[in-house]
Structure 1
Amino acid sequence: MKEVLIATNNAHKVEEIRTALNFEGWTFTTLAEAGVTSDPAEDADSFEGNARIKARAARAAARESLGRFVAVLADDSGLEVDALDGAPGVFSARYAGSDGDDAANNAKLLAELAAVPDAECTARFVCTLVFIDEDGTESVARGTIEGSIGREPRGSEGFGYDPLFLPDEYGGMRALAEVSQAEKNGISHRGNALRVLKKALSQSVDER
């Protein structure tokens, strides 16, 4: 058995991670489920930097709370809009100033792009994962999904900027929030990053 502590309590992320990293004998536990408290300042200037901060903080907190090292997985993700020079980027969750206020973040994004032609509203979701094994070995994986920003929210699936993001896979005709979770897992930035991570980890798993 291998216990992996996921440095999040976001149910959407947890389910996607559990489905993707389906190695035999692996179990996944959230911070809350493990009774571990970890809420470090995410003050890096990159997704990888923030993911590493979260992973290392969770590893240290788990060592203190559980009395042992466990494998830890953390992610940081966000939206990069080309016409805004990559913003909101690492500030995606707090773009409008209040952390996690999806409606306010989406409203600000639409306002910022109001004068930008549709053809120039290209964007991508980015996800970077940092996995730290029990022995301290770090693995990093990055995934993206290309698309553009629509002019109004559409759909009720997903969260964050999903109602505004139009993936290239659908020719700009469907918002990510109009796609089922199962279908989203197959094309999403986090899903792509998880597939990269699984491939990187497969060799060490096979060797055990």
Structure 2
Amino acid sequence: MSGAGGTPQRLIVAITGATGAIYGVRLLQVLRAAPTVETHLLISPAGVMNLQHELDIGRAEVEALASVVHNVRDIGATIASGSFRAHAMVVAPCSMRTLAAIAHGFSDNLITRAADVTLKERRKLVLMVRETPLNLAHLRNMTAVTEMGGIVFPPVPGFYQKPQSIAELVDHTVGRVLDLVDLPQIGQTLAPSWGGLNARAGDATGN
């Protein structure tokens, strides 16, 4: 799905310091193969640490997956303005610190500013928040973002598709996110629509 005049849709992707850096990386990998999407990447300092610790990869390797890379300190970047027509924004993963900043309108870096812009322009904002157990501050911040129009999407794995690997679990979650930001033609390749228990039973019995 392209924008007006066949121009690529712009999707802002931010990787912050929560565990689950694999979600942001996999999202970028999938979108890199989609010529209809232009990705704008932001990685927080803690996000860089998690990429190294969890995936044994560095900033440069991840940045190479994006169409455009922005410095999180560059508040004057294009994506800091509502006039920059981004299709949506995904924070994958989203730390509780980033969630709190977005919930309270603290545009203290380019990630939280871009998220604030996404909300004020009534565009899709998906936050893959990662923490457990949740305290009251976490829950209230999630409620605040939801009331502002954002989508809180904890990367909780689904087992009804009978995944055989961690990669399949990650792909299913990333596919669901792509559906949420109106890129179903990409998301369905990772997370096919559920056919229902009756369909599975029919397959098993030959009916």
**Larger strand proportion, structure 1 or 2?**
1
TM-score, length-scaled by structure 1? 0.33
TM-score, length-scaled by structure 2? 0.33
